[in-house]
Each structure stands twice: as C-alpha cells, then as structure tokens.
Structure 1
Amino acid sequence: MAAADPHESLRRRFRWRLPARFSIAEAICDRWALRSPGRTALLTKRPGEPLVATSYGALRDASQALAAALARRGVGRGDRVAIFLPQGAEAVAAHVATSRLRAIATPLALAFGPDALSFRLRDSGARALVTCAAGLARLRQVDEPLPALETIVSTDGAEGDALDYAALLAAGGGVEPVAGSPDDPALMIYTSGTTGPPKGALHAARVLLGHLPGFRMTHDGFPRPGDLAWTPADWAWAGGLLNLLAPALHHGVPVVAQPAAKFDPAGAFALIEETGVRNAFIPPTALRMMAQVEGPGGRLRAPLRSLVSAGERLSEAAFEWAPEALGAPVNEVYGQTECNYVLASAAALGVSKPGFTGKPVPGHRVAVLDQEGRACAPGQAGEICIRAPDPVMFLEYWRQPEATAARFRDGWLTTGDQALVDEEGYFRFLGRDDDVITSSGYRIGPSDIEDCLARHPAVALAAVVGKPDPLRTEIVKAFVQLRPGASPSAELARELSRFVRERLSAHEYPREVAFVEALPLTTTGKLIRRALRDAE
C-alpha cells in the first residue's frame, strides 16, 4: 500500500472559512495587544545600535493616535493613505492606523525616485502620506502638482507642511477598528512595472487571510515556540508585506525590522546570527548574493528553522546551497502582486524538487493552459492561470476596468507567465510570456540559461533576452554582471557561450554576450528584461 501524500491530503481536506467580519488592524495588532500588551511585535535593528523592541500594546497606542489625527483631517473609508517608509514600527503603525479608518493602505518603496513616487501618488489619488526625512526629500523633487494630497506626516519631525509624527502620538486619541466585510478594499500594491507602466492592484482585507495557509505550510507548521521572522524585502512589496510581515504579526510572532537602504549579504548573515532569526523570507537575488560571501561569515552557526523565497525563479544552485549554508531547505513560492502565494514547495511535506517551484497551495486552483484555455499535457508549455474566485486575488486595477477585464478568461486569472507541469504535478516556471524567446522554432525560457550562467565562477548575475534576428526570428543574448576580480573579454564571452551550450543545448546558448556594470532590477530584486530588450 502506497504511503499517504500529506500535501495531497491537506489539499483535499482544505476548505476556506472566511469570517463575516474582518479587520486587518484587529488581526495583526489589537487582538494581541488586548491579550498581552507587552508582547513583542517588532525588534528593530539599526547599524551600530542595540535592538529596540516594540510591543503590540505600543503599536496599538501609536496606530490609534495616528488614526485619530488622520480622521481629524478628513481621512476616512476608501481614502488612500500612502506609506513611504523603511522597515520599522512607524510603517506597521501606519498600516494599522489606515485599517482602523477602513482606508486603503498604499505602501511605496523608499527606493523610488521622484518620478516613480509622483506617478503613484497621482495615480492613487492618495489623500495622506506618512513618510520620513528621506521621503520628504524625494517629495520635494516632484515637479508635478499633487492636488489630492492634503496631509503629510513625517516620522522625523515637522518640516514645512509636514506634521510631526511624534507630536501626533503625544496628542493621543483613539480610533477602534471597525470590522467590515473581508471583501472591503483595504490594500493597494503597485505592480513592479517589469512589463509596462505600474498599475495599482487593489486588494480586499481578505488578502491577509488568503496568505495564511500557504505561509504556515511553507514555514513548516508556523508558529512554533521561539520563532522569530525576518525579511530583507521591502515591506512595500507584496513579498515583504504579505509573504512575511503581516502573517507573522497575525500569529503573534515578532518580526525583525532593519531600516536599511541597500541589501548587504554579509550583513544579512550577521543580522540573523545576532538577533536569532528562525524564519526568513529571502528573495532569490538576495540568496545569490549571500552565496557569494566567502569564509566563515558565509555560513550560519545557528540554523534557520524555515526559509522561503519568491519574486523570480529560484536557481538550482541556490536550492542546493541554502540547506548547507543556512541550515534549512528553501521553499519556493510563486505568485504575482495580483494573486500571490498560490504555488509553493514544502520540504517538510515532501513537496520539493530542484528546478521546480512546487505544487498548488491548498485552497488555490492553478493550472497551465494553452491559448484556447485547455489544460496542457505534462511537459507542454503554457500559461499559468488561477481559478477565480480566490481570497488572494485582487479586486481590480485601480481605475482601469479594461485592464482588469483583460486579465480574466473563462473564469481564470491569466498571469502572462509561462510554465509546464511534469508527470508528478510539479510546476516549472519558464518566464513571462514576453520574456520567452522564439529561436529557430524553439520556445526558450530565459531562467534556465540565467541559472546556468550563474554557475560559472566569473558570473555574479545574468539576464537573458531575445534579440531580433532575420534568420532565426530571435537569438539568445546574455547580459552578464561579473564577480569582483573578473574582467570582461571576448574570450570570456566565448567561454560563457560554450559553458551554456555544453550544459544545456545547442539552441539555448547565448550567441551574444554583453558585459554590464549592473543589471536593471526593480526595487524587489526582479530583473527588468524589458529595459534590456528596449536597449537593443
């Protein structure tokens, strides 16, 4: 008799049971503050300073006072509140305060320049902005008027029209969360813009509830005693916010916050060791950078209990490296800003395979369909599609009904991502539809070639695109960022082409190799292949 498959058993038993009323503020803050106000919610680590603990009770008080101040200035249900802050207690308080008002939290990455910031503030019609000194400096560089923006709060003291966050908290005031429907709009996250202008993906409050089953599964029965969570991902990204911060706080598990402007791979090891992080969400690009740290500083003395990665395909090299260096197998997750955490690995449940993302998370129906909407045969490439409705599925693109409608076909959300499913039901991500290269009749996903190039000792990062070619339709062109100490040359370019040809196939090797100082990345660490194609 065959052994029971624990993942399949979970999938078959699973049923969504969403409450009739739900508040994110209550779920990630107030319920813990009422039970144990001194319970630690956040541990903030700034360079050269000791850890600073923030309790659930302190978060509740700060968010109540901030919500009261915003309410006095007319912010209410459905208004957009932009949160332009680094990781820290102030960012969490701003999210909780926004939820108290049943307004719509609109997190923005602090790495955004003035044009990116201006676009999102104008497009969202944000009525309030909570930011810091660096954010105010960026705001001063915005040339275009922002007529909807009426209230600005600065966590670094009053400046110009900006109100002092500390003074607002000292003034006090209280706004208790009002639980609405889990389908009420609560969060708007802008897409990363890898395939076109960013769009505001509007989510209901239920998006948090929709992430919890997958989060618990990929973090091996989370929570457990002693758990402590951390991610280097910006909390303005769905990965940082929904893949770690909000689910951990929901479960009452402290989160380490690091208000760093730039990811430091050696510093990541030191932070994990110093704070005792047990559960981490680390994007693939960050894992690749950590794997390049040499010496004893590139290996944890105290192992992680759980490790998750998402944002782009995880390389097989990172898959093999993580258990030895970090002490835990890396569970890969797939999703989009519009519909996240729907495919995953879970090594503890036996769902783990190098080169494959994983299988559908219980509660989500995911398939690979062809252009006619039919299920693809095992091994046949097609488009990843997610069945509607789904708790993690977005409500709409902000004020773009036509773009929203274009994402749905016959009850499925189309992702534009290409993949195949093998005989065991594992999904292998190939690339975005517009990233797939057509060469001499072959359809080639860039990820396999990028993974192969990354195995070469001279390569730090690589990106692959299709270059128009009159004979082959397209040829494979690689853009390579070298490791320190390696020098670009024609011979190295030929060596890299041979390296791929010998390890993959004769139709996949790059016929052109260009060396670059740095590859274009989004604030979430994804390659912007469009920028490389446009430069051709």
Structure 2
Amino acid sequence: MQSYEALYAGFAWNLPARFNIAEAVADAWARQEPDRICLIEDRGEQPARTMTYGALADISRRLAAAIAARGVVAGDRVAIVLPQSFATVIAHLAVYRLGAIAVPLAMRFGPEALHFRLVASGAKLAVLHREGLETFSGIRHALPTLESVIVVGAEQHQNGGPIDFDRLIRETPPRLEMAATGPDDPALIIFTSGTTGPPKGALHGHRVLLGHLPGIRFHHDDYPRAGDRIYTPSDWAWAGGLLNVLLPSLQLGVQVVFSAERFRAEEAYRLMARQKVRNAFLPATALRMLAAATDEDAARDLALRTIASAGESLPAATFAWARETLSLTVNEFYGQTECNMVLGSSVAAGVSRAGAIGKAVPGHQVALLDADGAKVPAGTPGTIAVKAPDPVMFLNYWQDPKATKAKFSGDWLLTGDQAVMDGEGYVAFLGRDDDIITSAGYRIGPGEVESCLVAHPAVKLAAVVGKPDPLRTEIVKAYVCLNNPALASVAIAAEIQAFVRARLSAHEYPREIAFVAEMPLTTSGKIMRRVFREQATAEAEAAAAR
C-alpha cells in the first residue's frame, strides 16, 4: 500500500455518466462469476447458508418485477424493515433496479418511530419481516401513501392480506431492464437521529456507493486482499452497516458474513472463528464487550487482519486491548449520515495515532471552521466541515430545503461536531455542537425521545441528555417534571421507561430517570439541556471516583 501522502495527492474522482448500485454490486459480478459466493448467513445452530452473485442478481430481478407490478416506479419510496438477511439485500437491489428510492428502517423501531419515518418518506410499498407485523399493524391505518406490504415469512398470499416474499419471487419472472440512473439520481433515504426536532431524511444518490469505496479500502488497509471476508453486527438499516460494510464489500467482491441474532460477545468470537473472518467493523461498544468476554482460546482462534471502528470515540483502554490481545491496531474513522467516512486511520498507510480519528480520507477535503466559516489554525478547536462537491455527500434533506441550506456554510458541509487538527493533519474529536447522544454506537437525538416522554399522561416536561457511561459511551438520561409531583417514584419511572421503549426503540429509552420540580429555561422558553448535561456528567465522575 502506498504512503498516505502518495494516496491523497494522487487521488482523483472519475464518476461514470451511468451508475446503478444494483448493477455494481450484483449484475457485474453475475456476468463474470455467477457462482461466486457473496453472502454467508451463520446462525450458529445449523450449517451456514450462502448466496452467489448469480442468485442475488436473479432473485432481485424477480422482486423488482413484482414490486413494479404493484405500481412502484422511479422516484417512489420503498421502506425496507428487515434484519440482516438475504431478503434485505435482495430488497435493496430490487428498488435500485427500478430507479426507486430505498428507505431502510430498523426492526427495533416502535410504532411511533416507524410511523413518523414511513409518513415522512411517503413510502408507497414496504417490505417487512413477520416479526414486525404486530408493530406495523397498529399504524397501518395511518399510512395514507402506503399501498402494498410484502412480508418475509408471511403465511398468506391474498388480496388485502400480507404478500409472502418467497412465494412472490417464485411466481414472478425476472425483470431484465435496469433503470438508466446516473450518479446523482436518488437511491436511498437514511434518517438522521433527530438532534434538534424530528429526524430528517438524508437523500443520497447512487454515487454514495462510489463515495464510500476510498474509505473502506483505506481503513481496512488496502482492502480487499486475497482471502478477505468481512463481518459487522451493525444494523444494515444504519449507514454504518449498509454503507460502511455491505454494499461496498459486495461491489469489491468480498464475502459478507452476517447473523440476524442479537450481538453477544461470546457468540461473535465463535462466528468470526467459524467463518474465518478477516475484516470486521465493530463499534466501540462491541469492542468493549469483546474485551470483557475475551479469553486466550477465543483470541487465538481468530483470523482477523483488520478491525475498523466508528460511531463513537474509541477509549484508549480498548485501543490498547486490541493491540495486546488481538495483535491488531483498530483503524478508527468518522462520518455522519449526511456525509460518511471522510476521516480515518490506516496502519498500512502510516496513519494511526491513539486518541485521534485519523486524517482526511483520500478523495475528501476536510477542514475545521470557526463560527464565521473561516479555517482555524492548527491546535484550535473548530467544527468539522467537508468540502462540496463530494460523492459521499447527501443530495439534500428529503422535502426540507430550509434544513438543507442550514447544513452548509458556502461550499462546506457543517457536521456540527467539534474537533482539533494538529500540524500533521490528525484530527482529535472533542464533542458536539448539538445535543446528540452517542450510546452503544447509535446516535440518538433528544428531541424524539422528549416528544415521546411528554406523550405519557403523567409527564409535564422532559429534558434528555447523554450521561457518560463506561460501557456504552453514554446512556440516555431523562429529567422529568410530573403533572403531579407527588407521584414521583421508582414505579412511575419504570412505567415511563416502558412507555418510551415500546414506542421508540430499545436503544433510545432513558435508562435513568430523575424527577425535577422545574425545568431551567432560556428567555425564549427553550429547555437548557446544558444544565442537566453538566449534572449528569458530574454524577458519572463521582461514581467513577468511588
């Protein structure tokens, strides 16, 4: 691998006039090597199941024909609410083939979170897993744009009932026509975490896949090499799982190993050993869990060549554990839903420093700006900003031109994250301009959680902040004013927690609730989260000192 300086100086984008994600990740390989294995499903209790590029291309063509027959055309939105599975990949490619727009959504979303995103995107069709039918059925009547539902594992195939995914594919001949899309044509909406107000849909073009290739090749040290095989526990509904691992690896011909089971450190060790995984994308929380569960035999059985991590800052102790126990240096990288994988590390390229994210990935211009949009000197804190145009950059926020405009300062996209860059170009993350919470790799916006909290009949006002946590980086902590302060108790706190968890998701509910008599407000009536954030931090520091 070339040095970082040579890689960065010699890089130039050369995007084709025509580009479609389905063609790049399936059809191109299917023509050359149809029997080449691309996906490996390992659930541990049975032999691993595999899928070839030839099968992936054929089945996704059949699903494309089936959803086209249900009225889906270019520009229509199709929600994909599935776990890691063959069906997830097939559904994505079917949507891209039609020039439609995929809207990946997490299985763990509760009814309110799911309803908001389905309505905001105006989804015309949804592909669901049968385990999500109960949640979905409660909101189906309130989805005016949704016309059809296809269910993986459904037991019916009739008018008005769930349409079975597998049966539909068997009964539908393939659609051979591919939409004549270009790099800037819309392909994908990924919702942000909702740092201020409701989550926003970041619309990406087909170019987003091309934009991620330099990053994945960089932080997996000259990826791919012979024998490389990748695994991540990250949800494919999240940019981290979909764009950091799944789609670029398929385009590069690397086998993707997955398991739909919930992440458990002991089983992750066994899975990676069974499948001879060479490359892994593991958020810091997953790495901490692996470190806590490690033993000499588990570490000895691994065949890992590279580990990449993102989504939250990697603690120095975890960085050191990977070096000492796995004999690997974790390559960190940074990005966000709107503009991902723009900073990173690569041991092979000579870019690695504990406590730093890394440097600008080849192909991306990154600077730190002050409040006036000017570059700050080395060693001075500033907002991480990315120069437009950039293939990895979103097209816009879905139907929100005002928010799109506010995301930019001139030609620079503002991430809202604060950092310091030294004289060598290494960037160290400091914190956030906004109130986003990073918990177990998930970026959680307080606005959506607060809205759910105040929907509880006992709650008058609520403020949500991140409290430092040694395992999850932060946990969600809620400060709540009750309509009747006399009701404050452990029981009502548990009831409120269950209320939020059932309506949003397991990673968003407040793990701690504190009852307060009143909320500190600004002169404009906004809750001063800063007061609670400082209080939560002090609590965490006091607990650590004990």
- Residues 96 and 102 in structure 2, CA contact (< 8 A), matched pair in contact too: yes
- 1:367 is matched with which residue? 367
Give 1:45 shift: 1.3
Offset at residue 56 of structure 1 (A): 1.0
Is 1:63 aligned with 2:63?
Answer: no
Q: Is the 8 A contact 2:195 2:436 kept in 1?
A: no
Partner amino acid, structure 2, of 1:351: V
Q: Counterpart amino acid of 2:260?
A: P
C-alpha distance after superposition, 1:490-518 (max 9, x if no partner): 9x9746247xxxxxxxxxxxxxxxxxxxx
Match of 2:148 in 1: 151
Q: Tell me, yes or no, if structure 1 residue 38 matches structure 2 residue 39.
A: no
Alpha-carbon distance in 1 for matches of 2:2, 2:86? 41
Identity rate of aligned residues, in percent? Answer: 50
Please tell me whether residue 229 in structure 1 is matched to residue 223 in structure 2. no
Aligned to 2:248: 247
**Cα deviations by residue, 1:389-429 (Å, 9 ceiling, x for unpaired):** 10000011111110111101111101110111112210011
**Is 1:74 paired with 2:74?**
no
Judging changes above 3 Å, is the alpha-carbon distance between structure 1 residues 495 and 187 closer, same or farther for their aligned structure 2 residues?
A: closer
For the structure 1 residues 175 and 316, does the alpha-carbon distance in structure 2 shift closer, same or farther, using more than 3 Å as the test?
same
Structural mapping, 1:178-327, within 5 Å: 178-260=179-261, 262-296=262-296, 299-327=299-327
Q: Pick closer, same or farther for the CA change 1:464–1:86 going to 2, 3 Å.
A: closer
What SS is found at the alignment partner of 1:348? coil
Cα distance in structure 2, aligned partners of 1:309 and 1:31: 29
For 1:442-521, list aligned pairs within 5 A.
454=470, 462=474, 476-478=534-536, 494=542, 496-497=544-545
* TM-score (normalizing by structure 1): 0.82
3-state SS of 2:293 partner: coil
1:388 aligns with 2:388: yes
Pick one of 86, 91, 94 that aligns with 2:91.
94
Distance (Å, rounded) in 1 between the aligned partners of 2:88 and 2:417 = 32
**Is structure 2 residue 15 aligned with structure 1 residue 18?**
yes
Residue 113 of structure 2 is aligned to residue 116 of structure 1: yes
Task: Structure 2: state its 5+ residue gaps.
Answer: 438-465, 480-519, 523-529
Q: Deviations over 1:37-93 (max 9, x none)?
A: 111011011241210011111111111111101111110100011111111111000
Tell me how far apart the structure 1 counterparts of residues 86 and 37 of structure 2 sit (CA, whole Å): 11
Flag the 1:170–1:143 CA change in 2: closer, same or farther, 3 A: closer
In structure 2, relative to structure 1, the CA distance for the partners of 1:156 and 1:255 (3 Å cut) is same
Secondary structure at the aligned position of 1:273 is classed as helix
d(CA) in 2 for partners of 1:494 and 1:309?
29
Q: Distance in 1 between matches of 2:55 and 2:154?
A: 19
1:292: how far off? 1.2
User: Is the alpha carbon distance of 1:209 and 1:201 closer, same or farther for their aligned partners in structure 2, counting shifts above 3 Å?
Assistant: same
Residues 460 and 14 of structure 1: is their aligned pair in 2 closer, same or farther, counting only changes over 3 Å? closer
Contact kept, 8 Å, 1:206 with 1:391, in 2: the verdict is: yes
**Contact 2:229–2:278, Cα closer than 8 Å, also in 1:** yes
Question: 2:134 — aligned with what?
Answer: 137
Supply the AA of the counterpart residue of 1:8: E
Q: Secondary structure at the match of 1:349?
A: coil
| C-alpha displacement of 1:220 | 1.3
RMSD, aligned CA: 2.7
Residues 93 and 112 of structure 1: CA distance in aligned 2, closer, same or farther (over 3 Å):
same
Deviation readout 1:291-323 (Å, 9 max, x if unpaired): 111434652423311111111112212211123
Please state how far the C-alpha of 1:164 moved relative to its aligned partner: 1.0
The amino acid that maps onto 1:496 is A
List alignment gaps of at least 5 residues for structure 1: 438-448, 481-489, 499-536
Which fold has the larger relative contact order, with Cα–Cα distance below 8 Å and residues 6 or more apart in sequence?
A: 2
CA contact (8 A) 2:369 2:383 kept: yes
1:223 Cα deviation (Å)? 1.3
TM-score scaled by structure 2? 0.80
Counterpart residue identity of residue 142, structure 1: I
Pick closer, same or farther for the CA change 1:10–1:205 going to 2, 3 Å.
same
Please state whether the residue corresponding to 1:255 is helix, strand or coil.
strand
SS of the aligned residue for 1:223 comes to coil
Matches within 5 A, 1:326-475: 326-435=326-435, 454=470, 462=474
Partner of 2:501: none
Query: Aligned pair in 2 of structure 1 residues 497, 196: CA closer, same or farther (>3 Å)?
Result: farther
Contact 1:290 1:298 in 2 (8 A): no
Name the residue aligned to 1:514.
none
Q: Residues of 1 paired with 2:543 and 2:95: CA distance?
A: 54
CA deviations on 1:309-366 (whole Å, 9 max, x unpaired) are 1111122122111233334211111000000010000111110001100000111110
- Return the letter of the residue paired with 1:414: L
